[in-house]
Structure 1
Amino acid sequence: MSFSRPAVFAALLPLALAACGGGNDRPSETLAPAQVTTIGVNSYLWRASLETLSFIPMAQVDSAGGVIVTDWYANPSAPTERMKLTVTILDADLRADALRVAASRQLYNGSQWLEAPVQAATVQRLEEIILTRARELRRSTVIG
């Protein structure tokens, strides 16, 4: 199961309301290691984060430090609201506590952008989407 843009939009909607696997001819039944550090952070979390946020312009992408900062993004259906995300991968292991998502939200009042609160459930849902995708990527990787 993978998450599409509508799923990510659905996760972000509350804001408006308040490495490919390698292998040989014989696939292995063993899961790929949970710790992959060739890029400085867990590659499954990294790829899942980039895929999940692929529709948002990126301001900073640092694979060695494990930080992704998006530019401001306004959903076309809510142009007076915009958001900016920071995803930080904190560990080389594929674990829930190795991922942190922070969000900023602004509303346009007709003349300027003003800070607005972000619902905690929105950030949690985005973390769940990224973690689920990272686990899918790990399962799909065949080691040989």
Structure 2
Amino acid sequence: MIKRDNKILISTFLLAGAAVGLSSCSSIETEAKYPSGYDRGATGGDIYGKRQTIMGEDGLKLFGGGKKKSGAGESGIGVNSFLWRATLDTVSFMPLASADPFGGVILTDWYTDPNSPNERVKINAFIMGRELKADGVRVRTFRQEIQGSAWRDVPVSEETSRKLEDSILTRARQLRITHLANEE
């Protein structure tokens, strides 16, 4: 009986000590917003700045609700519309796996050219912002060859991705010129 009372007494003291210890932590001033990697990425490194949203700076406008006229290349998507359309045009011969106009990501599925059935290619394209500029698009190319009964990854030269980026930029410039000519 005495051992049981000692256990209860010890447990009570430990619990009271833990409560006092934790309550003393409540006087420490803490930061209300914990910085995360997502916060840094969404605000360009400033976790306390205004965050970009997928709806744009002024929110989502339905039925043409705004008085502000969009500049060339701006639309209801989160990236430059000329780069977006040019990228879709450039990879249109390949099956699309995913296309996110707000994030500016276009992922293709594996494509096998009928002229070389032992090789297949996949492209990931990233549109980096709302401006039409040379570093506004990034392309990653993946290639596989069949070896035996399995597909194996094969290195792809950086030149291949650069050529795709150049063709996307050329097409985007053509689309912009056409757009500006039609506005006048």
TM-score range (shorter-chain normalised) is 0.7 to 0.9
TM-superposition CA deviations, 1:82-122 (whole Å, max 9, x none): 11100000110001111000011111012100010001111
**3-state SS of the aligned residue for 2:183?**
coil
The answer to whether 1:143 aligns with 2:174 is no
- Of 72, 83, 100, which aligns to 1:45? 83
**2:89 matched to 1:54?**
no
Aligned to 2:158: 120
Alignment partners' CA distance in 2, 1:100 and 1:34: 21
| Higher relative contact order structure (alpha carbons within 8 Å, sequence separation ≥ 6) | 1
Going from structure 1 to structure 2, the CA distance change for 1:34 and 1:118 (only over 3 Å counts) comes to farther
Measure, in 1, the Cα distance between the counterparts of 2:171 and 2:71.
Answer: 16
| Distance in structure 1 (CA, Å) of the matches to 2:136 and 2:126 | 8
Instruction: In structure 1, give the amino acid aligned to 2:178.
Output: S
TM-score for the superposition, normalised by structure 1: 0.74
User: Where does structure 1 lack aligned partners over 5 or more consecutive residues?
Assistant: 1-31
Q: Deviations over 1:47-89 (max 9, x none)?
A: 0000111110000010010000000001111111111100000
Paired residue for 2:49? none
Which of 131, 134, 140 is 2:172 aligned to? 134
**2:141 corresponding residue in structure 1:** 103
Number of residue pairs the alignment of both structures matches: 113
- Hey, what's the Cα distance between the residues in 2 that align with 1:119 and 1:37? 34
Query: Highest CA radius of gyration, 1 or 2?
Result: 2
> C-alpha root-mean-square deviation of aligned residues, in Å?
1.5
* Aligned counterpart, 1:94: 132
User: What percent of counterpart residues are identical?
Assistant: 48
Give the equivalent residue in structure 2 for 1:73: 111
Question: Could you tell me which amino acid in structure 1 is paired with residue 183 of structure 2?
Answer: I
3-state SS in 2 of match to 1:101: strand
Mapped partners of 1:57, 1:140: distance in 2: 27
CA distance in 1, matches of 2:145, 2:90: 23
- Is the contact between residue 73 and residue 176 of structure 2 (CA under 8 Å) also seen in structure 1? no
**AA aligned opposite 1:82:** R
Alpha-carbon contact 2:98-2:107 (below 8 Å) kept: yes
Q: C-alpha separation between the residues in 1 aligned to 2:165 and 2:152?
A: 25
One-letter amino acid matched to 1:71? D
